[in-house]
Amino acid sequence: MIHQADDLPDVAAERTYALVVGVESYDVSNDWRLPGAAHDAQRFAAWLTGSGGVPPANLRLFLSPLPDTDLPCAQHLPKHRPATEHHIKQALLHDLPSRDGDLLWIYWAGHGFHDDGHLLLPYADATGPHTVHLNLEAALRWWGSTDVDRRRFRHQIALTDACRVDRRRTPRLNFGSVDYGGGDLAEGRGQFVLYAARPGEAARNQEERRAGLFTDKLLDVLNGMTVGQGARGLTDLTRGLQADFDVLCAQEKAWQRPSYLIRGWDGSSAYGGDWTDSSGTAPVLDQKAWHDLATLTRGRDVPSCVHDAYRWAFEVCGCAAPLQDATAAGSLTEFVRDLDDRQGRPGKPLSLPFIRYLAAHAEDREWGTRLDDWVDRTRERIGARPVPAAPERPAEPAQVHVQLTEAAEKGRYFVRVWLYQGRFSFEWESSDPVPLSDARNELGEHIGAVAAKDTAKGTGRVEFHIPVELLDEEFEAWPLPFGPGELPQEVGQLFEVVVRCPDARDGSTAKWQEKWRWFETHGEGEWEPPTLDACRPIWLVTEDRMPPNLAAFLRFAEFPVGVLVQVGRERLPEALDAVIASGVPIALWHRSGPPKDPAGTSDLATELAPPGARSLDLRKLPRTLLKLRIQAGAAPSDESWSHPLALLWDDPNRRPRLRPLK
Contacts of 395 (CB under 8 A, 6+ apart): 458
Query: What's the rounded Cα separation, in Å, for the pair 191 and 141?
Result: 10
| CB distance 256 to 202 below 8 Å | yes
Contacts of 347 (CB under 8 A, 6+ apart): 282, 283, 383, 384, 385
| Assigned CATH for 15-267 | 3.40.50.1460
pLDDT tens digits for 232-262?
888 778 878 888 888 888 777 887 888 877 7
pLDDT tens digits for 31-74?
788 998 999 999 999 999 999 999 999 999 999 999 877 777 66
Query: What's the rounded Cα separation, in Å, for the pair 542 and 397?
Result: 34
Domain boundaries, the chain: 15-267, 287-382, 399-500, 502-649
Q: Where are the alpha helices (DSSP H) in 251-286?
A: none
Count H helices and E strands in the chain, helices first: 17, 29
β-pair type (165-166, 113-115) = parallel
| CB distance 237 to 230 below 8 Å | yes
Q: Which listed CATH number (3.40.1280, 3.30.420, 3.30.360, 1.10.10) goes with 399-500?
A: 3.30.420
User: What residue ranges of the chain have pLDDT lower than 50?
Assistant: 1-7, 265-280, 323-328, 598-601, 660-662
The pTM (predicted TM-score) of the whole model is 0.54
